[in-house]
Amino acid sequence: MSHEAVLHAHESHGHDDHGHHEHHDTFLTKYVFSQDHKMIAKQFLITGMVWAVLGGLMSVLFRLQLGYPDASFPWLESILGKWAKGGQITPEAYYALVTTHGTVLVFFVLTAGLSGTFANFLIPLQIGARDMASPFMNMLSYWFFLAASIVMMSSLFVETGPFSGGWVAYPPLSALRDASPGSKSGMDLWIISMALFVVSSLLGGLNYIATILNMRTKGMSMTRLPLTIWALFFTAVLGVLSFPVLLSGFILLIFDRNFGTSFYLSDIFVNGVGALSNEGGSAILYQHLFWFLGHPEVYIILLPAMGMVSEIMSVNSRKPIFGYMAMLGSLFAIAVLAFLVWAHHMFVTGLNPFLGSVFVLLTLLIAVPSAIKVFNWLTTLWRGNIRFTPGMLFAIGFVSLFISGGLTGIWLGNAALDIHLHDTYFVIAHFHIVMGVASMFGMFAGVYHWFPKMYGRYLNNSLGYMHFWVTLAGAYMIFWPMHYEGLAGMPRRYFDFSIWESFKQFAELNRFISTVAMIVFAAQLLFIINFFYSIFKGRKVTDPNPWKSNTLEWTTPINPGHGNWPGEIPEVHRWPYDYGKDGVDFIPQDVPVGDHESSH
């Protein structure tokens, strides 16, 4: 590997020369066009945080409408202009907010912000590599993501508004410019942004896979990898195999929008325009292409969180993760099944009933590896010696949310029940708990846990505790009652329920949910303040291994430079979970196996 050879040659010049090298870094090469995986990780993280705040703010705005449909907020008009005429959010703005919230949170925050950050940061550090297999591609991955972000952002400012047909962008609504104002130029920008995003995640994913397979340090066999790395590996494989399918779906959509093809269009009469000439297309084809990514996507979001939670839980319970091989096997099973269940999003599209039954079976099968993971996490806590760092709290919160949201997946995966619950608030509750909030918890756990490695400083603990308890309680208060709305059949994506005899009874509950949502959003700002304050003013880390952890990242200096280890890369002699073995608190991976040591 020539890159490593260069770095090695470089290291052999000794410490002074290394310092000299740092001198040559200009602001631009160090912070902007950096090829250091750690810096790229931070770029992903901070861009993801910006999007998380914006996406969260959007949800606050549309919750304002749902909670207070009759109230008027003059200040809204001064911010949003024509999108909030008379201080009330218009349906156009409402649907644009819902759509952008979904797109941004799913792709920009929980895919790029989560995988982008932690795959970049942890893979080289935990497998013992000096950088990614291709640092330049890695840099490009970030810049494509940023370009996608900028295009998506710019779509918020076009005359006809951003795309407003839901984050799944089903045609014909997304294909017909005249079907909705959001389907005009807002949709063009949406597709361009998503195409750039696909490129970004492919560049990143290929890099993660190549790095994990080829650049592990001596002794780091695949079964000695921390579970974080395994999870990130499966995530990258899922992304590389499924994102191209999404892109192909988008390309057909671009053809239908601009070049008169009929891949998705057939027999359409648009109000005010008349009958279109498209015949023979299938609107359902898009859904197959979309969900072929869309379902693996939820595991792309969830698996990194699972991996980090496993690692953080083991470290802070001072106990090995229970059932390493079972954890690995269940990750693998989930990754395989992720590709075989996409049509459970389509039970009510008129799917062939036999096909539907196959997807029911495969969908509910996922509950088995998920159950294994939950029980293994519980057993990891059992008879441990638990330290409640903020990272550990968020890991425990993740498991709680994963249980709650996972169990409702058993309801929705069973097609006969899904017919009733599909596209109701029950679904909103389910996927926000199990995928949205749970993965956010995984991300928070990761940030709290690895912040000392990222910046050489600690986050403020008290703010971390407040952040955790408010968010956990708040998340349940927001999403738990939504199950009841779903059981009343209340549909998703409604701007206003006042004309509906069956649903207007929930007005008071909607107000409650909106109020809690605002409080929870406000609590997230505590985290943002804590994060940026601590980068510059946080308590300094003095112990290179503050959590007494076994993995390799803690063998680097407190502030590792480009190349991570100033000297040789440590050799690995054991798995990463030797906590409490033979009465010893922890044995890092680079410690050779002793003569009388028992095997695990």
In the window 460-519, what residues touch other proteins (CB under 8 A)?
460-463, 465-466, 469, 472-473, 476-477, 480-481, 484, 487-497, 499-503, 505-506, 509
Q: String of b and e for 536-565 (b: at least 16 CB within 10 Å)?
A: eebeebeebbebebbbbbbbbebebbbbbb
Of 430 and 453, the one with the shorter C-beta distance to other proteins is 430
Of 426, 475, 512, 473, give the one whose Cα is nearest residue 66.
512
| Residue 424, token pair as written in the block | 């109701």
Query: 423, 491 in Cβ contact below 8 A?
Result: yes
Segment near other proteins (CB under 8 A); pick from 200-208, 210-218, 445-453, 457-465: 457-465
Work out how close the CB of 324 gets to other proteins at its nearest, in angstroms, rounded to a whole number.
Answer: 7
Binding positions for other proteins, 388-407, rule CB under 8 A: 388, 393, 396, 399-400, 403-404, 407
Binding positions for other proteins, 437-456, rule CB under 8 A: none
Helix ranges (DSSP H) in 215-352: 227-258, 283-317, 324-337
Distances (CA, A) of 381 to 28, 338, 386, 447: 45, 28, 7, 21
Segment near other proteins (CB under 8 A); pick from 1-9, 31-39, 172-180, 435-443: 172-180
Of 6 and 273, the one with the shorter C-beta distance to other proteins is 273
Residue with tokens 């990614």: 132
Binding positions for other proteins, 82-121, rule CB under 8 A: 91-92, 95
Binding positions for other proteins, 420-439, rule CB under 8 A: 420, 422-424
Work out how close the CB of 594 gets to other proteins at its nearest, in angstroms, rounded to a whole number.
Answer: 15
Distances (CA, A) of 27 to 7, 16, 24, 120: 21, 21, 10, 21
Binding positions for other proteins, 188-227, rule CB under 8 A: none
Work out how close the CB of 278 gets to other proteins at its nearest, in angstroms, rounded to a whole number.
Answer: 9
Distances (CA, A) of 389 to 103, 401, 441, 449: 32, 18, 14, 8
Of 146 and 417, the one with the shorter C-beta distance to other proteins is 417
Segment near other proteins (CB under 8 A); pick from 179-187, 234-242, 290-298, 438-446: 179-187
Binding positions for other proteins, 119-148, rule CB under 8 A: none
What one-letter code names the amino acid at 184?
A: K
Binding positions for other proteins, 246-305, rule CB under 8 A: 265-271, 275, 279-284
Number of shown-chain residues binding other proteins (CB under 8 A): 133
Which residues lie below 8 Å from residue 423, measured CB to CB, with a gap of 6+? 348, 491, 492, 493
Work out how close the CB of 137 gets to other proteins at its nearest, in angstroms, rounded to a whole number.
Answer: 37
Binding mask 57-86 for other proteins (x = CB under 8 A): ------------------x-----------
Binds other proteins (CB under 8 A): choice among 356, 474, 560, 588: 356
Binds other proteins (CB under 8 A): choice among 349, 456, 507, 559: 349
Binds other proteins (CB under 8 A): choice among 2, 27, 159, 583: 583
Of 40 and 66, the one with the shorter C-beta distance to other proteins is 66
| HSE-CB of 363 using CA atoms within 13 angstroms | 25
Burial tier of 46 (Cβ tally within 10 Å: 0-12, 13-18, 19+)? middle
Residue with tokens 């029940």: 417
Of 299, 333, 221, give the one whose Cα is nearest residue 575.
221
Binding positions for other proteins, 523-552, rule CB under 8 A: 525-526, 529-530, 533, 539
Q: Is 155 in the site for other proteins (CB under 8 A)?
A: no
**DSSP conformation letters of 521-580:** HHHHHHHHHHHHHHHHHSPBP-SSSTT---SGGGGS-SS--TTS-SSPPPPP-S-TT-EE
| Residue 552, token pair as written in the block | 């390799």
Segment near other proteins (CB under 8 A); pick from 30-38, 185-193, 221-229, 576-584: 576-584
Which run of H or E residues covers position 269? Answer: strand 269-270
Work out how close the CB of 534 gets to other proteins at its nearest, in angstroms, rounded to a whole number.
Answer: 10
Work out how close the CB of 23 gets to other proteins at its nearest, in angstroms, rounded to a whole number.
Answer: 34
Work out how close the CB of 485 gets to other proteins at its nearest, in angstroms, rounded to a whole number.
Answer: 8
Q: Is 411 in the site for other proteins (CB under 8 A)?
A: yes
Q: CA angle 590-594-599, nearest 5°?
A: 90
Of 96 and 133, the one with the shorter C-beta distance to other proteins is 96
Query: 142, 224 in Cβ contact below 8 A?
Result: no
- The length of the chain in residues reads 600
